[in-house]
Structure 1
């Protein structure tokens, strides 16, 4: 949620760099935007609405300066108004602050500051920060010390960036909210390097057009960026040596490449993403999986923690481990952190696309506090989850901009298959590996031949949508429903197929299409067909997602075909058909597909 961008060393291009960076962060979700540039004064322009509204406001303003910060806000404290938009300033207008996260003690700080004569112009928790800095400056502190003293008084989660009139620097700090520095000094070292350009942001895409060299800040760290270079210390001022990493993806990967929406582009990128996930990790001849330096995990039990789409991937993975004889269960991270089950010697696996999901990080930290080994399954190199966990398995999906996860879900399922094969023993492992090797081609076949758009057109005016499946298809049903509700704003629910008759069947009408995922022709498929007959008898239209091995097509009004493959892989390919149905339904309804209302790509507050 929310986006931060800052830059120094860009000269007259500072404002354009900030606005461009904010546009690159739109996927994070926001409802207002603003910028601040510092010279001998601090000039601020901010507007509720979209970045185009900010651009329009800037046309009548003259903002310039060598140092600047920008922000896209997702409302938490106070509605989306011009006044509540970031950046926020102090009483004198000499300090500007942008902030992600939630300051838990803001009310007591605000009361204290108000009683001392400070005037507040917004409803936000953030506004206490510039006033705290103002007080420290008035007491004689130098600018950097003033910012440190203010940050030290904050409780809660924050990524904060500050500019001050007359100071050629940006000050920044983080706690439970991501910040990354961009280094463009032309050198391989760290520290002072006059003449370079330096950036900070919530996420790399904000400045990836300018540099591929990054420094990830950790909790409790403080950064200063100026035209002379960059420096990272603890909040108390102790120097911290930071590695400069190189981002291995091209900035063009964050463009639409001719597609109408990022989501559609990323659906079509799934074959490539899956190849990246599998490359160098599977040996079909030997029937083995090599995950590099994960070491000897061999868990006696596994607990998965995740949220949203990643939770559905975790449910899928838990079934794989259970089938191999290892007790496993998927937990909603937001519940796990507050009601942690007995861990024992279980391996705790956090599944998180961004590696910054606040609920998942809290669950992993609680597990580590209790002595558990932890593993992050993530897409983001250098993310907090990757740095804090004992082990990391990257899904290698590449950057995903659309809020509704698509290629990352498919890559999560593939990576979790690899993980289960590497630490468990199943009799058909060679068949699973063969299926994984064929997976990218199977997904491409669906992308080439799918009739999902016609199905979406047929049922675009439905009152609600049900998705059903059994076993490994159950999490696919959940994910299909989530995609539908996320981007169409229509009511959609996913169920274990056998549960329909225990209540949800009361909601089934002739205006409730039921998407049934049925592959193979085993007992599970036959039971699901029985559930299909139940809804057919109540005049509900049925859309079968099937490989044609069973006779489910006899009872279906429409069929979404998937290639015949291993049952573990069938879940991945079936999901692609449901992604396309959701996408085309949303497109026909003219929804904001890449940026659904009220949602954000990276949820960094609990």
Structure 2
């Protein structure tokens, strides 16, 4: 969740570190800090809140030194205050940590019994104490870190700085991502490529159990026993990971408007436009005729993408689908069938719960397929099959373009499955593929609703609660619409299957409650209209999101109608997502919340 950066170079480290931390702000954080070596001695600056507070502190209390580590913290253990901010320093050892040390209580008790004095509430401080103790026992830095790592249960990405060692950084990784970057006479550590992009275009990724020994001239990889390892480096396109808001006020607005383009890019890699058929990459060895069941696992917005995909796999491929929230998947007794397909969906490819579920499924003989936006991510490297989305870097915490690109990819997989299994005939496939090809055009029409949505946002911004309802694939879309609203506006919002309204949620309906009804004119339209009338009869304020046919039949009684073009049913989840995103965005702007970095949230959830 939090961000790690490190540099050993030729110029002052603090400015480099601060700039890299700025690029990691999107990951979410509540405090930040930097430590450097000045004439061989450790010094640090820490500040709670936004990175600007740390920047201001460094103006009044600057740090010198050409080697250092930096950190943005998202609080897990201990309050988000300056005292708990990283880096932690103990007797000549400074450390920054992303992850959770699950056995920190036992280690803390052991260290206290030996006389250690703890100054924070964090789990991370035990790492600094353990390494410091090994140093006091005569171990050199690399040996000290190697001795400590096997004692740590949980997940970690760690970066160490040692007093008196002005040409040495040590990184270590288990479960949480960490990369190194290669320069000339300078080397770098970072949580991801975005942090390192302006500094280098050559990176390598640590695998679980790796140590990286970083000096100005080289980077060595070791296992926990000290044996050398080889890790391939790769060239990254700096322009692909250096992002700007452009003409938009927020990254979220920019990313909403990018959807027609990035969805088209994603579809293009899976569609043969000339033949109007699905064309999975040649290296994908996937015979759906041999698959009896599909399981889909993800978290948050990606879970709702998987929920929509379940309808597609069952309708278009005749495949039963089990759907799991990743944080629950490993903790129930899943009866796996040999050789079945397990699909894992993640924007970052580093989501801790999803990654752990992937590894669990692979250990039980499942074919593992990941749908990820970062092809160098841990999930991608751990999967047998990778079907990437081409959303590009998504900086806003609330996922928008990643969601619709996930849907585009999953729709292509479902159609391919239906073709291979004989459920879809050739003309069925061509019809569905043509419908997918029209998505960017329909999205552009959806974006034309923005002026009306902006006005609507002003009206609903005072609300304390909101309901979203839909049926079929519109039900998970209702869940996603509610999630977007609550994430960035802090309005309490819930999504429900429209038929469930009368089983409890209708008790909430009054004249002050906005109820967003997602109802294109499909097979469930009439049923959803009956549920909408139940709300109208009780004074609820209906915002109807429908198509031209639906608007002609059901606009009467609605407080506001957002009308989209008529389109095939497979297309509606991607297109109807756009006005829901815009509604959340503009409501957040009216309410004055931090759209791109909403409170308490992180972009990449790399802890369980």
TM range (shorter): over 0.9
Match for residue 549 of structure 1? 549
User: Is the 2:3–2:21 Cα contact (8 Å) retained in structure 1?
Assistant: yes
Match for residue 313 of structure 1? 305
The TM-score with structure 1 as length reference comes to 0.95
**Structure 1 portions without partners, runs of 5+:** 186-194
User: Is the 1:312–1:475 Cα contact (8 Å) retained in structure 2?
Assistant: yes
The Cα offsets for residues 170-224 of structure 1, whole Å up to 9 and x where unpaired, read as: 1010111111112234xxxxxxxxx2x2211112111111222221111111101
User: Is the 2:309–2:414 Cα contact (8 Å) retained in structure 1?
Assistant: yes
The Cα offsets for residues 397-436 of structure 1, whole Å up to 9 and x where unpaired, read as: 1000110000000101101011111222335322221121
Supply the distance in 2 between the matched residues of 1:248 and 1:554 (Cα, whole angstroms). Answer: 52
- Show the 5 A alignment for 1:211-226: 211-226=200-215
Supply the distance in 2 between the matched residues of 1:312 and 1:248 (Cα, whole angstroms). Answer: 31
Match for residue 511 of structure 1? 512
Supply the distance in 2 between the matched residues of 1:278 and 1:13 (Cα, whole angstroms). Answer: 45
| SS of residue matched to 2:527 | helix
Q: Which moved more, 1:502-511 or 1:561-570?
A: 561-570
- Show the 5 A alignment for 1:426-441: 426-427=424-425, 428-441=428-441
- Residue 216 (structure 2) pairs with residue 227 (structure 1): yes
Supply the distance in 2 between the matched residues of 1:382 and 1:588 (Cα, whole angstroms). Answer: 38
Q: Which moved more, 1:231-240 or 1:491-500?
A: 231-240
Supply the distance in 1 between the matched residues of 2:32 and 2:106 (Cα, whole angstroms). Answer: 27
- Residue 106 (structure 2) pairs with residue 108 (structure 1): yes
User: Is the 1:431–1:566 Cα contact (8 Å) retained in structure 2?
Assistant: no
The Cα offsets for residues 552-575 of structure 1, whole Å up to 9 and x where unpaired, read as: 222322111222221111111111
Q: Which moved more, 1:472-481 or 1:134-143?
A: 134-143
Match for residue 188 of structure 1? none
The Cα offsets for residues 48-68 of structure 1, whole Å up to 9 and x where unpaired, read as: 121111112112223122211
The TM-score with structure 2 as length reference comes to 0.95
**Structure 2 portions without partners, runs of 5+:** none
Quote how far apart the aligned CAs of 1:237 are.
Answer: 1.6
Match for residue 69 of structure 2? 69
Match for residue 476 of structure 1? 477
Supply the distance in 2 between the matched residues of 1:121 and 1:144 (Cα, whole angstroms). Answer: 25
User: Is the 1:518–1:552 Cα contact (8 Å) retained in structure 2?
Assistant: no
Quote how far apart the aligned CAs of 1:304 are.
Answer: 0.4
The Cα offsets for residues 104-149 of structure 1, whole Å up to 9 and x where unpaired, read as: 1212222222222222111111111122122211222111111211
Cα 1:51–1:422 change in 2 (3 A) is same
In the alignment, which of 291, 313, 325 is matched to residue 318 of structure 2? 325
Supply the distance in 1 between the matched residues of 2:169 and 2:543 (Cα, whole angstroms). Answer: 55
Paired residues in the alignment total: 592
- Show the 5 A alignment for 1:44-193: 44-90=44-90, 92=91, 94-167=92-165, 168-185=167-184
Q: Which moved more, 1:63-72 or 1:232-241?
A: 232-241
User: Is the 1:284–1:430 Cα contact (8 Å) retained in structure 2?
Assistant: no
Match for residue 572 of structure 1? 574
User: Is the 2:263–2:408 Cα contact (8 Å) retained in structure 1?
Assistant: yes
| SS of residue matched to 2:11 | helix
Supply the distance in 1 between the matched residues of 2:333 and 2:248 (Cα, whole angstroms). Answer: 43
Match for residue 295 of structure 1? 285
Cα 1:325–1:28 change in 2 (3 A) is same
Quote how far apart the aligned CAs of 1:249 are.
Answer: 5.8
| SS of residue matched to 2:245 | coil
Supply the distance in 1 between the matched residues of 2:241 and 2:351 (Cα, whole angstroms). Answer: 25
- Residue 460 (structure 2) pairs with residue 466 (structure 1): no
Quote how far apart the aligned CAs of 1:252 are.
Answer: 6.8
Supply the distance in 1 between the matched residues of 2:242 and 2:436 (Cα, whole angstroms). Answer: 24
Supply the distance in 2 between the matched residues of 1:600 and 1:155 (Cα, whole angstroms). Answer: 23
Supply the distance in 2 between the matched residues of 1:484 and 1:312 (Cα, whole angstroms). Answer: 15
Cα 1:243–1:320 change in 2 (3 A) is same
In the alignment, which of 359, 364, 375 is matched to residue 369 of structure 2? 375
User: Is the 2:313–2:417 Cα contact (8 Å) retained in structure 1?
Assistant: no
Supply the distance in 1 between the matched residues of 2:241 and 2:28 (Cα, whole angstroms). Answer: 21
In the alignment, which of 253, 265, 268 is matched to residue 264 of structure 1? 253
Quote how far apart the aligned CAs of 1:545 are.
Answer: 0.9
Supply the distance in 1 between the matched residues of 2:454 and 2:352 (Cα, whole angstroms). Answer: 36
Supply the distance in 2 between the matched residues of 1:170 and 1:532 (Cα, whole angstroms). Answer: 61
Supply the distance in 2 between the matched residues of 1:249 and 1:289 (Cα, whole angstroms). Answer: 31
Quote how far apart the aligned CAs of 1:250 are.
Answer: 1.3
